[in-house]
């Protein structure tokens, strides 16, 4: 594939725990062999063509964690950079924290998780070592792509050192439900680590959703759609399942003669029986014992099948240094022995089980010969075996039985789905697979094969790399000062008409503990009256507050009022409010009120505000620690629970509000502008809150949009606080306009 080229694009710096290379020490010194694998194939194009580097551990440990000059040289030839690890570091960082801490937890096996605070220090140190290696390599214009759960802290470390560096991260394992995730002892640190990236990629939308809830719930990070907003930056959360390089599996490759020979031999061994295949690393997440038990049940319930079928189970030794994996091996050995003694005959095994990987050409032959491939993990981030089997079926025959707890299940909908924990379901599905007519096999397989070919590893790599490259840093807007302010004043002076949209709380008036205390002071009233008194200025206060309160507080100034986020409007100088929201369904209010009431009970100091259309839950006066946690919980509950209702759930400053969808300050401001067509007016919108973002976004690009505060925003300018905002308005109110100076009255 060719690397996507973009103006100003630099080198791709890849980072993974293991380098895609196998270093071995022979009599004549070290040798390096490229390790084939889907990921390496997919990323090698952009890596090579961008002239980038691949940084990682080359697989050799040493006493002091250094690499020999010989190893460095071998890696250098391949555009790789080695990070050395001592045996003790490797044990703590890789074996214990990664494989015995993060791996089981992320795969929903919390009871298998082990965590040691000392090991975590090493995990952090090793991440720091990777960070140092990247920083040493990085050149202007480069961008970084980090792989997987061994390096969760790396994005934030890089971000701290290089605020402008485009960084991507991809998680190859599941991101668990936040209920499981939050068990982890360093949960905040891992989330903060990942949020250092500009783009965080997952295999499925489900994992994105889990991650979103974790950051929202545990860190209070705001999310909108597939974006998270954290520390003045935006982070894109993507669901891009990894693909495979299909030509490797479609046959006709360099090793085709070997594959054919192997198929020949296998056919003889199978002796006319139908073949059921299982292939994986021997890992407790892969559900091998459950699968073997289901196979045994099938044979027990259908004795005649014993002469018609056989199973091959390849189990690649994995993490043998971890005790659980050794215990698993013992269990699988025992089960395999039991199956053969119960169902085998001399010279005819019911199960060929091997605790050893097979060379690639044998794997290809197995995929092509199998009638049924059983991919039944208890939990799997994606599962490439399922895709490889599908890609191998050149005649579109064969049946894939796929566990619903794999990421791949969401893409391969035509597979026979199973619940790998349910023995009966497994047996029934396996029988169904064996009985499936060829026509049905073909229909299912052809659809999957097409999809696997289209969504291949190169597409994955390109989409991820493009997303990282085009990541836009989201910084707070620049201060409205100096030349920019001068420009604003000039435009103000020269315009024919002027329209101001001013939020109230947090923009004109600082927050108070109790919302009812935020009455306008003399300066606010005076400034607004002054502005309202000018015939050449239309001044609108745009607030979430109810109309009667705005009338009570600001009515005498003569400004226009847009109440309740745009639900009701009163033009400057008028006396009646007009509703912009006729016939809105409000049936949801009762349910929301009940939920709010429950949280009000739980959080002393919080209260419910009833608005004509919306309902708000305020917690400014509650204990911050307790309230913040409950507020996140409430927000999450409403977001999910009200998803099918015509409402928007908004998180404001110490308030959560539910109101009819389609009503926003932005829309109301646009209506106001549309109601007075003519020459383009001078427009200034000021606001501090998330609800003001709709004004900043919806108003035309030529409008002046000013955030009061210092967070990231769609506003184009920024003022520090309400005092600065009022000072600007006072200055504008007193500034003569060209028309006024030349005597024209508007
Ligand atoms: C992790 C996630 C996610 C297997 N046996 C042999 C062999 N293999 C190759 C397969 C396949 C690879 O190993 C296994 O990939 P999986 O995706 O199935 O599983 P994990 O190793 O757990 O990978 C997983 C993946 O990362 C990618 O993001 O899908 O969910 O757990 O390519 O072909 N290869 C050879 N002999 C074998 O005996 N030559």
Contact between 374 and 401 (Cβ < 8 Å): yes
Q: What is the best residue among 243, 384, 455 to mutate for testing ligand 1's pocket, by most ligand atoms within 8 Å of CB? A: 384
| Torsion sign, CA atoms 533, 538, 539, 540 | positive
Is residue 381 lining ligand 1, measured as CB closer than 6 Å? yes
Q: What integer is the mean pLDDT of 517-532? A: 96
| Distance separating alpha carbons of residues 727 and 706, to the nearest angstrom | 14
| Torsion sign, CA atoms 568, 571, 574, 578 | negative
Q: What integer is the mean pLDDT of 266-282? A: 95
- The CA-atom distances, in angstroms, between 412 and each of 387, 444, 455, 644, 744 are 8, 9, 11, 27, 71
Q: What integer is the mean pLDDT of 292-317? A: 96
Instruction: For residue 195, name the pLDDT band (cuts at 50, 70, 90).
Output: very high
Q: Residue 585 corresponds to which tokens in the numbers above?
A: 């369904």
Q: Residues with catalytic annotation? A: 503
Q: At what angle do helices 423-435 and 288-301 cross, to 10 degrees?
A: 60
Instruction: For residue 122, name the pLDDT band (cuts at 50, 70, 90).
Output: very high
Position 474 scores a pLDDT of: 59
Q: What is the best residue among 20, 104, 258, 281 to mutate for testing ligand 1's pocket, by most ligand atoms within 8 Å of CB? A: 281
Is residue 388 lining ligand 1, measured as CB closer than 6 Å? yes
CA of 384, closest atom in ligand 1: 17
Cα of 289 from ligand 1 centre, angstroms: 18
| Distance separating alpha carbons of residues 430 and 417, to the nearest angstrom | 10
Q: Is the pLDDT of residue 430 over 50?
A: yes
Cα of 82 from ligand 1 centre, angstroms: 23
Q: Which residue has the higher pLDDT, 313 or 43?
A: 313
**Angle (CA) 562 568 572, round 5°:** 45
The DSSP call for residue 348 is B
Q: 10 Å Cβ neighbour count for 34?
A: 14
| Distance separating alpha carbons of residues 249 and 245, to the nearest angstrom | 8
CA of 386, closest atom in ligand 1: 18
Is residue 172 lining ligand 1, measured as CB closer than 6 Å? yes
Cα of 439 from ligand 1 centre, angstroms: 30
Q: What integer is the mean pLDDT of 604-630? A: 86
Is residue 360 lining ligand 1, measured as CB closer than 6 Å? yes
Position 739 scores a pLDDT of: 61
Domain 249-450 annotated CATH 3.40.50.300: no
Instruction: For residue 660, name the pLDDT band (cuts at 50, 70, 90).
Output: confident
**Proportion of the chain above pLDDT 90, given as a percent:** 71
Query: pLDDT (tens digit, 9 = 90+) per residue, 74-98?
Result: 999 999 999 999 999 999 999 999 9
CA of 406, closest atom in ligand 1: 30
Cα of 281 from ligand 1 centre, angstroms: 7
| Distance separating alpha carbons of residues 683 and 7, to the nearest angstrom | 35
Q: What is the best residue among 201, 286, 383 to mutate for testing ligand 1's pocket, by most ligand atoms within 8 Å of CB? A: 383
Cα of 244 from ligand 1 centre, angstroms: 11
Instruction: For residue 729, name the pLDDT band (cuts at 50, 70, 90).
Output: very high
Q: Is the pLDDT of residue 514 over 90?
A: no
Q: What integer is the mean pLDDT of 408-416? A: 94
Contact between 643 and 588 (Cβ < 8 Å): no
Instruction: For residue 473, name the pLDDT band (cuts at 50, 70, 90).
Output: low
Position 740 scores a pLDDT of: 53
CA of 279, closest atom in ligand 1: 5
- CA-closest residue to ligand 1 atom 36: 358
Cα of 380 from ligand 1 centre, angstroms: 10
Q: Residue 160 corresponds to which tokens in the numbers above?
A: 């701290």
Among 4-13, 259-268, 721-730, the range scoring the smallest mean pLDDT is 4-13
Cα of 523 from ligand 1 centre, angstroms: 68
- CA-closest residue to ligand 1 atom 4: 280
Contact between 580 and 668 (Cβ < 8 Å): yes
Position 678 scores a pLDDT of: 81
Q: What integer is the mean pLDDT of 130-135? A: 98
Is residue 18 lining ligand 1, measured as CB closer than 6 Å? no
Domain boundaries, the chain: 12-239, 249-450, 482-581+663-741, 589-660
Query: pLDDT (tens digit, 9 = 90+) per residue, 526-558?
Result: 999 999 999 999 999 999 999 999 999 999 999
Instruction: For residue 311, name the pLDDT band (cuts at 50, 70, 90).
Output: very high
Among 396-400, 439-443, 512-516, 623-627, the range scoring the smallest mean pLDDT is 623-627
Q: Residue 223 corresponds to which tokens in the numbers above?
A: 């999310």
Contact between 455 and 246 (Cβ < 8 Å): no
Using CB atoms within 10 Å of the CB of residue 155, give its burial: 0 to 12 exposed, 13 to 18 middle, 19+ buried: buried
* In 465-619, beta strands by DSSP E: 498-502, 537-542, 560-563, 568-570, 578-579, 607-610, 615-618
Q: What is the best residue among 385, 387, 456, 464 to mutate for testing ligand 1's pocket, by most ligand atoms within 8 Å of CB? A: 385
Phi–psi pair at 23, nearest 5 degrees: -100, 130
The residues, ordered by sequence, that sit 6+ positions from 304 with a Cβ below 8 Å of its Cβ are none
Position 384 scores a pLDDT of: 96
Is residue 727 lining ligand 1, measured as CB closer than 6 Å? no
Number of H helices, E strands in the chain: 26, 31
Q: Is the pLDDT of residue 4 over 50?
A: no
Position 92 scores a pLDDT of: 97
Query: pLDDT (tens digit, 9 = 90+) per residue, 681-704?
Result: 999 999 998 889 889 999 999 999
Q: Which residue has the higher pLDDT, 400 or 21?
A: 400
Is residue 358 lining ligand 1, measured as CB closer than 6 Å? yes
Using CB atoms within 10 Å of the CB of residue 675, give its burial: 0 to 12 exposed, 13 to 18 middle, 19+ buried: exposed
Edge-first strand listing for the sheet containing 682-687? 578-579, 568-570, 560-563, 537-542, 498-502, 682-687, 704-708, 717-719
> What kind of architecture, by CATH, is found in domain 589-660?
2-Layer Sandwich (3.30)
Cα of 388 from ligand 1 centre, angstroms: 10
Q: Is the pLDDT of residue 6 over 50?
A: no
Average pLDDT, the chain: 91
Q: Residue 231 corresponds to which tokens in the numbers above?
A: 């520390």
Position 640 scores a pLDDT of: 84
Q: Residue 289 corresponds to which tokens in the numbers above?
A: 């014992």
CA 651, distance to chain mean position in Å, is 20
| Distance separating alpha carbons of residues 370 and 660, to the nearest angstrom | 56
- CA-closest residue to ligand 1 atom 27: 172
Is residue 263 lining ligand 1, measured as CB closer than 6 Å? no
Query: pLDDT (tens digit, 9 = 90+) per residue, 356-377?
Result: 999 999 999 999 999 999 999 9
Q: Is the pLDDT of residue 587 over 50?
A: yes
Q: What integer is the mean pLDDT of 174-194? A: 96
Is residue 344 lining ligand 1, measured as CB closer than 6 Å? no
Contact between 405 and 433 (Cβ < 8 Å): no
Phi–psi pair at 570, nearest 5 degrees: -135, 120
CA of 360, closest atom in ligand 1: 39
Position 7 scores a pLDDT of: 32
Domain 482-581+663-741 annotated CATH 3.40.50.1000: yes
Q: What is the best residue among 103, 176, 279, 314 to mutate for testing ligand 1's pocket, by most ligand atoms within 8 Å of CB? A: 279
Q: Is the pLDDT of residue 174 over 70?
A: yes
The strand pairing partners of 236, in sequence order, are 199, 227
Cα of 375 from ligand 1 centre, angstroms: 11
| Distance separating alpha carbons of residues 555 and 572, to the nearest angstrom | 9
**Identical fold, 12-239 and 249-450:** yes
- The CA-atom distances, in angstroms, between 10 and each of 48, 132, 140, 166, 465 are 12, 20, 8, 10, 11
Q: Which residue has the higher pLDDT, 148 or 345?
A: 148
Q: What integer is the mean pLDDT of 265-290? A: 96
CA of 385, closest atom in ligand 1: 18
Q: What integer is the mean pLDDT of 107-135? A: 97
CA of 37, closest atom in ligand 1: 32
Is residue 382 lining ligand 1, measured as CB closer than 6 Å? yes
Is residue 373 lining ligand 1, measured as CB closer than 6 Å? no
Contact between 605 and 627 (Cβ < 8 Å): yes
Cα of 288 from ligand 1 centre, angstroms: 14
The CATH superfamily of 12-239 is: Glycogen Phosphorylase B; (3.40.50.2000)
Position 710 scores a pLDDT of: 79
The residues, ordered by sequence, that sit 6+ positions from 340 with a Cβ below 8 Å of its Cβ are 349, 350, 351
Q: Is the pLDDT of residue 644 over 90?
A: no
| Distance separating alpha carbons of residues 507 and 504, to the nearest angstrom | 5
Is residue 72 lining ligand 1, measured as CB closer than 6 Å? no
- The CA-atom distances, in angstroms, between 722 and each of 100, 511, 557 are 52, 10, 18
Is residue 555 lining ligand 1, measured as CB closer than 6 Å? no
Among 122-136, 271-285, 366-380, 665-679, the range scoring the smallest mean pLDDT is 665-679
Q: What integer is the mean pLDDT of 654-675? A: 90
CA of 318, closest atom in ligand 1: 21
Q: How many CA atoms lie within 13 A of 714 on its CB side?
A: 16
Cα of 463 from ligand 1 centre, angstroms: 22
């Amino acid at each position: 594939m060719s690397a996507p080229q973009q103006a100003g694009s630099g080198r791709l710096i890849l980072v993974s725990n293991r380098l895609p290379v196998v270093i071995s020490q022979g009599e004549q010194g070290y040798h390096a062999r490229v390790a084939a694998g889907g990921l390496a194939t997919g990323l090698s194009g952009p890596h090579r063509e961008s002239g980038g580097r691949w940084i990682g551990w080359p697989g050799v440990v040493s006493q002091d964690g250094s690499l020999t000059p010989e190893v460095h040289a071998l890696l250098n030839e391949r555009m790789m950079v080695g990070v050395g690890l001592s045996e003790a570091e490797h044990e703590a960082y890789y074996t214990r924290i990664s494989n015995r801490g993060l791996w089981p937890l992320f795969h929903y096996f919390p009871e298998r998780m082990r965590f040691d605070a000392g090991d975590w220090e090493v995990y952090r140190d090793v991440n720091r070592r990777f960070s140092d290696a990247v920083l040493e390599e990085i050149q202007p214009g480069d961008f970084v792509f980090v792989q997987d759960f061994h390096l969760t802290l790396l994005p934030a470390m890089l971000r701290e050192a290089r605020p402008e560096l485009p960084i991507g991260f991809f998680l190859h394992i599941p991101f668990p439900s936040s209920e499981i995730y939050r068990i982890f002892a360093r949960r905040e640190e891992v989330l903060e680590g990942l949020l250092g990236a500009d783009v965080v990629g997952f295999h499925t939308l489900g994992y994105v959703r889990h991650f979103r809830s974790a950051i929202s719930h545990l860190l209070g990070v705001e999310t909108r759609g597939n974006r998270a907003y954290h520390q003045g930056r935006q982070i894109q959360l993507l669901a891009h399942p990894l693909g495979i390089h299909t030509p490797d599996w479609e046959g006709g490759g360099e090793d085709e003669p070997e594959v054919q020979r192997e198929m020949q031999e296998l056919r003889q061994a199978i002796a006319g029986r139908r073949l059921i295949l299982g292939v994986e690393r021997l890992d407790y997440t892969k559900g091998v014992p459950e699968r073997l038990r289901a196979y045994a049940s099938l044979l027990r319930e259908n004795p005649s099948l014993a002469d018609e079928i056989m199973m091959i189970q390849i189990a690649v030794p994995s993490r043998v240094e971890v005790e659980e994996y050794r215990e698993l091996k013992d269990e699988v050995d025992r089960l395999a022995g039991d199956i053969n003694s119960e169902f085998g005959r001399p010279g005819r095994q019911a199960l060929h089980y091997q605790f050893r990987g097979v060379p690639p050409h044998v794997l290809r032959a197995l995929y092509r010969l199998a009638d049924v491939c059983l991919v039944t993990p208890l939990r799997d981030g994606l599962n490439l075996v399922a895709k490889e089997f599908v890609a191998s079926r050149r005649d579109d025959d064969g049946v894939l039985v796929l566990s619903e707890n794999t990421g791949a299940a969401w893409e391969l909908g035509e597979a026979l789905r199973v619940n790998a924990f349910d023995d009966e379901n497994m047996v029934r599905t396996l029988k169904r697979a064996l009985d499936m007519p060829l026509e049905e096999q073909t229909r299912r397989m052809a659809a999957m094969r097409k999809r696997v070919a289209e969504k291949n590893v190169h597409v994955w790599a390109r989409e991820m790399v493009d997303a990282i490259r085009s990541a836009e840093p989201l910084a707070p807007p620049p201060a409205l000062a100096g030349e920019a302010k001068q420009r604003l004043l000039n435009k103000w002076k020269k315009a024919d008409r002027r329209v101001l949209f001013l939020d109230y709380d947090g923009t004109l008036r600082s927050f108070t503990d109790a919302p009812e205390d935020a009455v306008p002071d003399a300066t606010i009233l005076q400034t607004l009256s002054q502005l309202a008194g000018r015939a050449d200025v239309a001044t609108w206060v745009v607030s979430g507050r109810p109309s009667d309160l705005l009338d009570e507080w600001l009515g005498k100034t003569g400004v226009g009022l847009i109440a309740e986020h745009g639900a009701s409007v009163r033009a400057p100088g008028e006396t009646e409010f007009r509703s912009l929201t006729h016939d809105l369904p409000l049936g949801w209010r009762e349910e929301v009120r009940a939920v709010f009431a429950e949280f009000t009970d739980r959080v002393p100091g919080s209260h419910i505000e009833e608005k004509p259309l919306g309902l708000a839950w305020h917690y400014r006066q509650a204990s911050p620690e307790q309230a913040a946690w409950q507020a996140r919980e409430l927000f999450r509950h409403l977001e999910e629970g009200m998803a099918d209702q015509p409402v928007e759930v908004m998180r404001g400053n110490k308030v959560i509000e539910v109101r009819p969808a389609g009503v926003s300050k932005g829309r109301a401001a646009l209506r106001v502008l549309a109601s007075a067509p003519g020459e383009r007016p001078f427009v200034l919108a000021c606001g501090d809150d998330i609800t003001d973002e709709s004004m900043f976004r919806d108003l035309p690009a030529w409008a002046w949009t000013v955030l009061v505060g210092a967070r990231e925003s769609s506003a184009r300018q920024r003022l520090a606080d309400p005092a600065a905002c009022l000072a600007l308005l006072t200055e504008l109110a007193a500034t003569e306009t060209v028309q006024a100076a030349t005597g024209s009255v508007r």
